[in-house]
Amino acid sequence: MSEQLPPSGTTNRGALVLVATPIGNLGDISQRAIEALKAADIICCEDTRHSGKLLAHFGVTGKKLVVINEHTEYDAREEIVSLVTSGSNVALITDAGTPGISDPGERLVVAVINAGGVVTAVPGASALTMALVISGLPTSRFVFEGFLPRSGAERTERLAMATTESRTTVFYEAPHRLVKTLSDLTTACGAMRGVVLARELTKLHEEIWRGTLQDANMLVAKTEPRGEYVIILEPAKPPAPPTDEELLAAIRAEIAKGVSRKDSAARVSARFGVAKRTVYELALQVRDNL
């Protein structure tokens, strides 16, 4: 039977507790999150000034704060692992949302697990899930790409993957890079691909925009992007089934190579995803026309 954790999300033998914080509206923090932060021996955060204000707002005071950000996470792992495995409860928060989702935390989680330590979480706000469920795009299957690489072969490769992705794709993007990313997505996926832009989620100026990539490019050309964005991209439409003419041409090409009619039908069937029987019947037509 799995261990039952107390409501605060801590354990008696020390744990790394990932605590979700509001992505905008402070009212979205949970009572359990506040309890976990109060119970923590140490709180890891991205920015002590930002998190200090947040913690003070919820009455969490007198805690030692350790900076864990993209620059310090690697070097700080040993210290945090040692604290957790020696019995301390260490809470990890980020500037907003759930730690480890395009934010520090992933490496720390792996390090604690590898050392035999306990990792748990207090769930809560996440821009990824909020944007996805209100987008109006399919949610049963989706892929999260986070922030795209700023340039280079990896960016090109990941954009190319979006071209044929059959699941809804979610990206994060900073306002100063939104224009370039929308332009690149348009080049890769076509101007008429559907897209949703979500910004300032849960805040006073929350905005959800829906349209095509072409329209999105026109929008950001006229209005300066502000705030952090979530881009939700419509799944690629499945390719149209091949016509009989296309299948016949492929069959003739195989036969011209000296491949038997039966094997030609099998190869074309596999290439186009068409039933072997259908392709073989077309192959018989080729024979009859020879």
Summarised one tens digit per residue, pLDDT across range 28-76 is 999 999 999 999 999 999 999 999 999 999 999 999 999 999 889 888 9
Summarised one tens digit per residue, pLDDT across range 164-212 is 999 999 999 999 999 999 999 999 999 999 999 999 999 999 999 999 9
Q: Which amino acid, 261?
A: R
Query: For position 2, what pLDDT does the model report?
Result: 42
Q: Assess if residue 74 is contained within a domain.
A: yes
The answer to whether the CB of 267 falls within 8 A of the CB of 259 is yes
The answer to whether the CB of 94 falls within 8 A of the CB of 110 is no
Q: Assess if residue 1 is contained within a domain.
A: no
Query: Do 135 and 197 share a domain, yes or no?
Result: yes
Q: Which is more confident, 286 or 265?
A: 265
Q: Assess if residue 68 is contained within a domain.
A: yes
**Separation between Cα atoms, residue 99 and residue 125, nearest integer Å:** 10
Q: For helices 276-289 and 261-272, what crossing angle results, to 10°?
A: 130
Query: For position 112, what pLDDT does the model report?
Result: 96
Domain of 187 in residue numbering reads as 128-233
Query: Do 214 and 250 share a domain, yes or no?
Result: no
Radius of gyration over every alpha carbon of the chain, rounded to an integer in angstroms: 26
Question: 111, 112, 104: which is closest to 84 by C-alpha?
Answer: 112
DSSP state of 237: P
Rounded-to-10 torsion of CA 100, 105, 106, 109: -120
Mean pLDDT of the chain: 91
Query: Do 145 and 114 share a domain, yes or no?
Result: no
Query: Do 57 and 132 share a domain, yes or no?
Result: no
Distances (CA, A) of 279 to 244, 250, 252, 267: 9, 10, 12, 9
Phi, psi of 45 (to 5 degrees): -150, 165
Beta bridge partners of 284: none
Q: Assess if residue 108 is contained within a domain.
A: yes
Query: Do 248 and 276 share a domain, yes or no?
Result: yes
Query: Do 21 and 119 share a domain, yes or no?
Result: yes
CATH number for position 209: 3.30.950.10
Quick count: other Cβ atoms within 10 Å of Cβ 50? 15
**Separation between Cα atoms, residue 28 and residue 20, nearest integer Å:** 10
DSSP state of 263: H
Burial of 111 (0-12, 13-18, 19+ CB in 10 A): buried
CATH number for position 50: 3.40.1010.10
Summarised one tens digit per residue, pLDDT across range 101-142 is 988 999 999 999 999 999 999 999 999 999 999 999 999 999
How many domains is the chain partitioned into structurally? 3
Summarised one tens digit per residue, pLDDT across range 238-279 is 888 888 888 899 999 998 898 988 899 999 999 888 898 898
pLDDT above 70 covers a percentage of the chain that reads 94
DSSP state of 258: T
Question: 23, 7, 14: which is closest to 98 by C-alpha?
Answer: 23
